[in-house]
Amino acid sequence: MRLELSAEDQAFRKEMREFFTTQVPEEIRTAVLDGRELSKEQVVESQRALNAGGLAVPGWPVEWGGRDWSQLQRHLWHEEMQAAGVPLPLPFNTSMIGPVIAHFGSQEVKERFLPPTANLDIWWSQGFSEPDAGSDLAGLRTTAVRDGDDWVVNGQKTWTTLGQHGDWIFTLVRTDPEAKKQLGISMLLIDMTSPGVEVRPIQLIDGGHEVNEVWFTDVRVPGENLVGEVNQGWTMAKFLLGNERVGVAPVGSVKRMLVRAKQVGGDRLADPLLRARIADLENELLALELTTLRVVAHSAGGAPHPASSVLKLRGTELQQAASELLLDLAGPQSLASGADPDAGGTDAPGWARRAAPTYLNLRKASIYGGSNEIQRQIIARTILGL
Protein backbone atom coordinates (compact mmCIF):
# COMPACT_ATOMS: atom_id res chain seq x y z
CA MET A 1 0.00 0.00 0.00
CA ARG A 2 1.28 3.46 -0.90
CA LEU A 3 1.70 5.48 2.31
CA GLU A 4 2.42 8.90 0.79
CA LEU A 5 -0.44 11.12 -0.32
CA SER A 6 -0.53 12.38 -3.89
CA ALA A 7 -0.42 16.14 -4.51
CA GLU A 8 -4.18 16.01 -5.15
CA ASP A 9 -4.86 14.23 -1.88
CA GLN A 10 -2.59 16.63 0.01
CA ALA A 11 -4.56 19.55 -1.43
CA PHE A 12 -7.79 17.84 -0.35
CA ARG A 13 -6.44 17.40 3.17
CA LYS A 14 -5.48 21.09 3.26
CA GLU A 15 -8.95 22.08 2.07
CA MET A 16 -10.59 20.04 4.84
CA ARG A 17 -8.22 21.42 7.50
CA GLU A 18 -8.91 25.00 6.44
CA PHE A 19 -12.67 24.51 6.50
CA PHE A 20 -12.76 22.81 9.86
CA THR A 21 -10.51 25.36 11.56
CA THR A 22 -12.32 28.41 10.15
CA GLN A 23 -16.00 27.49 9.74
CA VAL A 24 -16.70 25.62 12.97
CA PRO A 25 -16.70 27.89 16.06
CA GLU A 26 -13.42 27.81 17.97
CA GLU A 27 -15.24 27.57 21.30
CA ILE A 28 -16.76 24.25 20.25
CA ARG A 29 -13.48 22.85 18.90
CA THR A 30 -11.59 23.87 22.03
CA ALA A 31 -14.16 22.12 24.22
CA VAL A 32 -13.73 18.91 22.19
CA LEU A 33 -9.92 19.10 22.34
CA ASP A 34 -10.08 19.63 26.11
CA GLY A 35 -12.38 16.62 26.50
CA ARG A 36 -15.26 18.70 27.84
CA GLU A 37 -18.91 17.73 27.31
CA LEU A 38 -20.82 19.60 24.61
CA SER A 39 -24.36 20.92 24.90
CA LYS A 40 -27.04 19.84 22.44
CA GLU A 41 -26.97 23.34 20.97
CA GLN A 42 -23.21 23.11 20.29
CA VAL A 43 -23.57 19.74 18.55
CA VAL A 44 -26.39 21.11 16.38
CA GLU A 45 -24.46 24.31 15.58
CA SER A 46 -21.40 22.35 14.52
CA GLN A 47 -23.29 19.93 12.27
CA ARG A 48 -25.22 22.74 10.60
CA ALA A 49 -21.90 24.45 9.81
CA LEU A 50 -20.69 21.22 8.21
CA ASN A 51 -23.94 20.77 6.30
CA ALA A 52 -23.82 24.34 4.99
CA GLY A 53 -20.40 23.52 3.56
CA GLY A 54 -21.57 20.19 2.13
CA LEU A 55 -19.44 18.21 4.59
CA ALA A 56 -21.99 16.65 6.96
CA VAL A 57 -22.97 13.51 5.00
CA PRO A 58 -20.33 12.80 2.32
CA GLY A 59 -21.10 9.08 2.38
CA TRP A 60 -24.76 9.50 1.36
CA PRO A 61 -25.97 9.35 -2.24
CA VAL A 62 -25.09 12.57 -4.08
CA GLU A 63 -28.74 13.52 -4.62
CA TRP A 64 -29.18 13.66 -0.85
CA GLY A 65 -26.01 15.59 0.00
CA GLY A 66 -23.26 13.01 -0.55
CA ARG A 67 -19.97 13.92 -2.22
CA ASP A 68 -19.04 10.83 -4.23
CA TRP A 69 -15.57 10.93 -2.71
CA SER A 70 -13.00 8.19 -2.86
CA GLN A 71 -12.62 6.10 0.29
CA LEU A 72 -9.27 7.82 0.93
CA GLN A 73 -10.92 11.25 0.76
CA ARG A 74 -13.58 10.13 3.25
CA HIS A 75 -10.82 8.92 5.53
CA LEU A 76 -8.96 12.26 5.27
CA TRP A 77 -12.22 14.14 5.97
CA HIS A 78 -12.78 12.03 9.06
CA GLU A 79 -9.17 12.32 10.27
CA GLU A 80 -8.87 16.09 9.78
CA MET A 81 -12.20 16.65 11.49
CA GLN A 82 -11.04 14.81 14.59
CA ALA A 83 -7.64 16.52 14.53
CA ALA A 84 -9.32 19.96 14.45
CA GLY A 85 -11.58 19.09 17.38
CA VAL A 86 -14.75 19.26 15.29
CA PRO A 87 -17.54 17.08 16.75
CA LEU A 88 -18.28 14.20 14.40
CA PRO A 89 -21.68 14.56 12.72
CA LEU A 90 -24.27 12.92 14.96
CA PRO A 91 -23.83 9.21 14.13
CA PHE A 92 -27.49 8.32 14.78
CA ASN A 93 -28.38 10.67 11.93
CA THR A 94 -25.49 10.46 9.51
CA SER A 95 -24.07 6.94 9.69
CA MET A 96 -27.07 5.00 11.04
CA ILE A 97 -30.63 5.94 10.04
CA GLY A 98 -29.67 8.29 7.18
CA PRO A 99 -27.99 5.59 5.04
CA VAL A 100 -30.79 3.13 5.90
CA ILE A 101 -33.50 5.53 4.71
CA ALA A 102 -31.46 6.38 1.59
CA HIS A 103 -31.06 2.67 0.78
CA PHE A 104 -34.39 1.14 1.88
CA GLY A 105 -36.86 4.02 2.26
CA SER A 106 -39.61 5.00 -0.16
CA GLN A 107 -39.20 8.22 -2.14
CA GLU A 108 -41.71 9.88 0.18
CA VAL A 109 -39.81 8.81 3.29
CA LYS A 110 -36.51 10.00 1.75
CA GLU A 111 -37.90 13.43 0.88
CA ARG A 112 -39.51 13.79 4.28
CA PHE A 113 -36.60 12.75 6.46
CA LEU A 114 -33.21 12.97 4.74
CA PRO A 115 -32.78 16.80 4.46
CA PRO A 116 -33.68 17.49 8.13
CA THR A 117 -31.61 14.49 9.19
CA ALA A 118 -28.49 15.87 7.46
CA ASN A 119 -29.03 19.34 8.94
CA LEU A 120 -29.82 17.99 12.41
CA ASP A 121 -33.25 19.61 12.36
CA ILE A 122 -34.26 16.16 13.61
CA TRP A 123 -32.18 14.58 16.40
CA TRP A 124 -32.52 10.82 16.03
CA SER A 125 -32.26 8.26 18.80
CA GLN A 126 -31.52 4.56 18.35
CA GLY A 127 -34.09 2.05 19.62
CA PHE A 128 -32.41 -1.32 19.21
CA SER A 129 -31.23 -2.65 22.61
CA GLU A 130 -33.65 -4.24 25.04
CA PRO A 131 -33.17 -5.32 28.69
CA ASP A 132 -33.86 -9.03 28.10
CA ALA A 133 -32.12 -9.38 24.73
CA GLY A 134 -28.52 -8.59 25.72
CA SER A 135 -26.25 -9.02 22.71
CA ASP A 136 -28.91 -11.10 20.96
CA LEU A 137 -30.53 -8.25 19.08
CA ALA A 138 -32.99 -10.60 17.39
CA GLY A 139 -34.33 -11.51 20.83
CA LEU A 140 -36.22 -8.22 21.11
CA ARG A 141 -39.74 -8.22 22.56
CA THR A 142 -41.12 -4.78 21.72
CA THR A 143 -44.18 -5.42 19.56
CA ALA A 144 -45.97 -3.52 16.82
CA VAL A 145 -49.50 -4.68 15.96
CA ARG A 146 -51.37 -3.36 12.96
CA ASP A 147 -54.59 -1.50 13.82
CA GLY A 148 -56.23 0.14 10.81
CA ASP A 149 -53.72 2.50 9.19
CA ASP A 150 -51.52 2.59 12.30
CA TRP A 151 -49.11 0.38 14.18
CA VAL A 152 -49.59 0.12 17.96
CA VAL A 153 -46.25 -0.25 19.75
CA ASN A 154 -45.65 -1.64 23.26
CA GLY A 155 -42.36 -2.47 24.95
CA GLN A 156 -39.10 -1.07 26.26
CA LYS A 157 -35.75 -0.07 24.80
CA THR A 158 -32.63 0.61 26.86
CA TRP A 159 -29.17 2.18 26.62
CA THR A 160 -30.63 4.82 24.29
CA THR A 161 -27.68 7.19 23.98
CA LEU A 162 -28.59 10.90 24.28
CA GLY A 163 -32.26 9.94 24.07
CA GLN A 164 -33.04 12.93 26.28
CA HIS A 165 -32.35 15.10 23.22
CA GLY A 166 -34.21 12.90 20.74
CA ASP A 167 -36.96 14.20 18.46
CA TRP A 168 -37.51 10.86 16.69
CA ILE A 169 -36.38 7.31 17.38
CA PHE A 170 -35.73 4.53 14.85
CA THR A 171 -36.82 1.22 16.34
CA LEU A 172 -36.77 -2.48 15.65
CA VAL A 173 -40.12 -4.00 16.58
CA ARG A 174 -41.53 -7.50 16.42
CA THR A 175 -44.30 -7.63 13.83
CA ASP A 176 -44.60 -11.41 13.43
CA PRO A 177 -44.25 -13.34 16.73
CA GLU A 178 -44.77 -16.67 14.93
CA ALA A 179 -41.87 -16.32 12.48
CA LYS A 180 -38.24 -17.26 13.11
CA LYS A 181 -37.05 -14.45 15.34
CA GLN A 182 -34.82 -12.78 12.71
CA LEU A 183 -37.64 -12.88 10.16
CA GLY A 184 -40.40 -11.30 12.26
CA ILE A 185 -38.82 -7.87 12.80
CA SER A 186 -39.62 -4.51 11.16
CA MET A 187 -38.22 -0.98 11.43
CA LEU A 188 -40.48 1.88 12.52
CA LEU A 189 -39.75 5.61 12.81
CA ILE A 190 -41.47 7.01 15.90
CA ASP A 191 -42.03 10.64 16.88
CA MET A 192 -40.81 10.84 20.49
CA THR A 193 -43.49 13.40 21.33
CA SER A 194 -46.18 10.76 20.61
CA PRO A 195 -48.49 9.94 23.54
CA GLY A 196 -47.22 6.83 25.34
CA VAL A 197 -43.48 7.46 24.78
CA GLU A 198 -41.55 7.95 28.03
CA VAL A 199 -37.79 8.58 28.38
CA ARG A 200 -36.22 7.66 31.73
CA PRO A 201 -32.57 8.62 32.51
CA ILE A 202 -29.90 6.09 33.54
CA GLN A 203 -27.10 7.39 35.76
CA LEU A 204 -23.67 6.17 34.64
CA ILE A 205 -20.58 5.26 36.65
CA ASP A 206 -18.78 8.41 35.41
CA GLY A 207 -21.52 10.57 36.96
CA GLY A 208 -23.02 11.61 33.64
CA HIS A 209 -26.45 11.20 32.07
CA GLU A 210 -25.73 9.83 28.61
CA VAL A 211 -28.11 6.90 28.20
CA ASN A 212 -31.77 6.26 28.86
CA GLU A 213 -34.61 3.80 28.93
CA VAL A 214 -37.42 4.46 26.43
CA TRP A 215 -40.84 2.99 27.18
CA PHE A 216 -43.68 2.57 24.68
CA THR A 217 -47.24 2.14 25.96
CA ASP A 218 -49.91 1.79 23.26
CA VAL A 219 -48.03 4.24 21.04
CA ARG A 220 -49.83 4.77 17.73
CA VAL A 221 -47.45 5.09 14.78
CA PRO A 222 -48.74 5.98 11.28
CA GLY A 223 -48.32 3.15 8.78
CA GLU A 224 -46.22 5.32 6.46
CA ASN A 225 -43.49 5.46 9.14
CA LEU A 226 -42.48 1.89 8.30
CA VAL A 227 -39.08 1.74 6.58
CA GLY A 228 -38.86 -0.77 3.73
CA GLU A 229 -41.14 -3.80 3.84
CA VAL A 230 -42.81 -5.51 6.81
CA ASN A 231 -40.48 -8.06 8.44
CA GLN A 232 -37.42 -6.69 6.58
CA GLY A 233 -36.01 -5.11 9.74
CA TRP A 234 -33.23 -7.64 10.35
CA THR A 235 -31.70 -6.87 6.94
CA MET A 236 -31.73 -3.15 7.73
CA ALA A 237 -30.32 -3.76 11.22
CA LYS A 238 -27.31 -5.61 9.79
CA PHE A 239 -26.81 -2.85 7.21
CA LEU A 240 -26.96 -0.17 9.92
CA LEU A 241 -24.68 -1.95 12.38
CA GLY A 242 -22.10 -2.57 9.67
CA ASN A 243 -21.97 1.16 8.97
CA GLU A 244 -21.76 1.85 12.69
CA ARG A 245 -18.71 -0.39 13.03
CA VAL A 246 -16.89 1.31 10.14
CA GLY A 247 -17.20 4.62 11.95
CA VAL A 248 -16.45 3.23 15.36
CA ALA A 249 -12.65 3.03 14.93
CA PRO A 250 -11.69 6.24 16.74
CA VAL A 251 -8.25 6.71 15.17
CA GLY A 252 -8.28 10.52 15.36
CA SER A 253 -9.43 10.74 18.96
CA VAL A 254 -6.90 8.13 20.11
CA LYS A 255 -4.18 10.12 18.35
CA ARG A 256 -5.25 13.18 20.32
CA MET A 257 -5.11 11.21 23.56
CA LEU A 258 -1.56 10.04 22.83
CA VAL A 259 -0.49 13.59 21.94
CA ARG A 260 -1.96 14.70 25.28
CA ALA A 261 -0.03 11.96 27.08
CA LYS A 262 3.23 13.23 25.61
CA GLN A 263 2.36 16.82 26.53
CA VAL A 264 1.57 16.06 30.17
CA GLY A 265 4.19 13.35 30.64
CA GLY A 266 6.94 15.85 31.47
CA ASP A 267 10.02 14.35 33.10
CA ARG A 268 8.29 10.96 33.30
CA LEU A 269 8.87 10.52 29.58
CA ALA A 270 12.48 9.68 30.47
CA ASP A 271 11.16 6.41 31.91
CA PRO A 272 11.86 3.75 29.25
CA LEU A 273 8.81 1.74 30.31
CA LEU A 274 6.51 4.73 29.76
CA ARG A 275 8.16 5.51 26.44
CA ALA A 276 7.73 1.88 25.34
CA ARG A 277 4.09 1.93 26.40
CA ILE A 278 3.38 5.03 24.29
CA ALA A 279 5.36 3.69 21.32
CA ASP A 280 3.47 0.40 21.46
CA LEU A 281 0.12 2.21 21.38
CA GLU A 282 1.25 4.40 18.47
CA ASN A 283 2.33 1.37 16.46
CA GLU A 284 -0.93 -0.43 17.18
CA LEU A 285 -2.84 2.71 16.18
CA LEU A 286 -0.93 2.94 12.88
CA ALA A 287 -1.83 -0.70 12.15
CA LEU A 288 -5.50 0.08 12.88
CA GLU A 289 -5.40 3.13 10.61
CA LEU A 290 -4.01 1.09 7.71
CA THR A 291 -6.60 -1.63 8.36
CA THR A 292 -9.32 1.01 8.30
CA LEU A 293 -8.17 2.12 4.85
CA ARG A 294 -8.21 -1.46 3.59
CA VAL A 295 -11.71 -2.08 5.00
CA VAL A 296 -13.26 1.04 3.49
CA ALA A 297 -11.53 0.35 0.17
CA HIS A 298 -13.20 -3.06 -0.01
CA SER A 299 -16.68 -1.89 1.02
CA ALA A 300 -18.93 -1.95 -2.03
CA GLY A 301 -22.57 -1.44 -2.89
CA GLY A 302 -23.25 0.41 0.34
CA ALA A 303 -22.50 -2.72 2.38
CA PRO A 304 -19.46 -2.52 4.71
CA HIS A 305 -16.78 -5.20 4.49
CA PRO A 306 -17.16 -7.94 7.15
CA ALA A 307 -13.76 -6.88 8.50
CA SER A 308 -15.48 -3.80 9.96
CA SER A 309 -15.80 -6.01 13.05
CA VAL A 310 -12.00 -5.82 13.39
CA LEU A 311 -12.21 -2.02 13.47
CA LYS A 312 -14.83 -2.08 16.20
CA LEU A 313 -12.91 -4.60 18.30
CA ARG A 314 -9.41 -3.14 17.99
CA GLY A 315 -10.55 0.50 17.96
CA THR A 316 -12.33 0.21 21.28
CA GLU A 317 -9.42 -1.68 22.83
CA LEU A 318 -6.94 1.06 21.86
CA GLN A 319 -9.32 3.78 23.00
CA GLN A 320 -9.56 2.15 26.40
CA ALA A 321 -5.80 1.62 26.62
CA ALA A 322 -5.10 5.30 25.81
CA SER A 323 -7.60 6.44 28.45
CA GLU A 324 -5.91 4.16 30.99
CA LEU A 325 -2.54 5.71 30.11
CA LEU A 326 -3.88 9.20 30.82
CA LEU A 327 -5.46 7.97 34.06
CA ASP A 328 -2.08 6.60 35.18
CA LEU A 329 -0.36 9.87 34.27
CA ALA A 330 -2.94 11.85 36.24
CA GLY A 331 -2.32 9.66 39.29
CA PRO A 332 -3.85 10.99 42.53
CA GLN A 333 -5.02 14.15 40.73
CA SER A 334 -7.61 12.06 38.90
CA LEU A 335 -9.44 11.67 42.23
CA ALA A 336 -10.42 15.36 41.98
CA SER A 337 -12.80 14.63 39.08
CA GLY A 338 -15.81 16.05 40.91
CA ALA A 339 -14.10 19.07 42.41
CA ASP A 340 -14.94 22.60 41.27
CA PRO A 341 -11.69 24.54 40.64
CA ASP A 342 -13.61 27.85 40.70
CA ALA A 343 -14.61 27.10 44.30
CA GLY A 344 -11.01 26.47 45.28
CA GLY A 345 -11.62 22.75 45.62
CA THR A 346 -8.57 21.68 43.60
CA ASP A 347 -5.59 22.88 41.67
CA ALA A 348 -5.55 19.80 39.44
CA PRO A 349 -5.51 20.65 35.70
CA GLY A 350 -8.64 20.00 33.67
CA TRP A 351 -7.20 17.01 31.75
CA ALA A 352 -6.36 15.28 35.04
CA ARG A 353 -9.81 15.93 36.52
CA ARG A 354 -11.42 14.45 33.39
CA ALA A 355 -9.11 11.42 33.26
CA ALA A 356 -11.13 9.20 35.63
CA PRO A 357 -14.62 9.97 34.19
CA THR A 358 -13.28 9.41 30.66
CA TYR A 359 -11.62 6.13 31.67
CA LEU A 360 -14.83 4.93 33.31
CA ASN A 361 -17.07 6.10 30.47
CA LEU A 362 -15.04 4.27 27.83
CA ARG A 363 -15.53 0.90 29.56
CA LYS A 364 -18.86 0.86 27.69
CA ALA A 365 -17.03 0.77 24.35
CA SER A 366 -16.62 -3.00 24.72
CA ILE A 367 -20.39 -3.39 24.64
CA TYR A 368 -22.00 -0.85 22.32
CA GLY A 369 -22.31 -1.40 18.57
CA GLY A 370 -22.36 -5.15 19.18
CA SER A 371 -20.22 -6.42 22.05
CA ASN A 372 -16.57 -7.28 21.44
CA GLU A 373 -17.38 -10.91 22.18
CA ILE A 374 -19.90 -10.87 19.32
CA GLN A 375 -17.30 -9.21 17.05
CA ARG A 376 -14.83 -12.01 17.83
CA GLN A 377 -17.48 -14.56 16.80
CA ILE A 378 -18.12 -12.68 13.54
CA ILE A 379 -14.38 -12.51 12.81
CA ALA A 380 -13.98 -16.23 13.55
CA ARG A 381 -16.90 -17.33 11.36
CA THR A 382 -16.94 -14.77 8.53
CA ILE A 383 -13.28 -13.86 8.07
CA LEU A 384 -11.29 -16.80 9.42
CA GLY A 385 -13.84 -19.49 8.48
CA LEU A 386 -13.51 -21.27 11.82
- Count of other CB atoms within 10 angstroms of residue 75: 18
| CA distance to 23, 128, 137, per residue, from 230 (Å) | 43, 17, 18
Per residue in 230-268, is it b (16+ CB within 10 Å) or e — as a string? bbbbbbbbebbbbbbbbbbbbbbbbbbbbebbeebbeee
The closest alpha carbon to 14, from 101, 73, 97, belongs to 73
In the annotation, is 289 catalytic?
Answer: no
Sorted by sequence, the CB contacts under 8 Å of residue 76 that are 6+ apart come out as 5, 9, 12, 13, 16
Furthest CA-CA distance within the chain:
72
**How many Cα atoms within 13 Å fall on the side-chain side of residue 219?**
27
The closest alpha carbon to 127, from 173, 91, 164, belongs to 173
Sorted by sequence, the CB contacts under 8 Å of residue 119 that are 6+ apart come out as 47, 48, 51, 56
Query: H-helix or E-strand containing 222?
Result: strand 211-222
Judge residue 118's burial from the number of C-beta atoms within 10 Å of its C-beta, 0-12 exposed, 13-18 middle, 19 or more buried. Answer: buried
Sorted by sequence, the CB contacts under 8 Å of residue 2 that are 6+ apart come out as none
Q: Which of 111, 130, 244, 324 is catalytic?
A: 244
- Count of other CB atoms within 10 angstroms of residue 359: 21
Catalytic residue IDs: 244
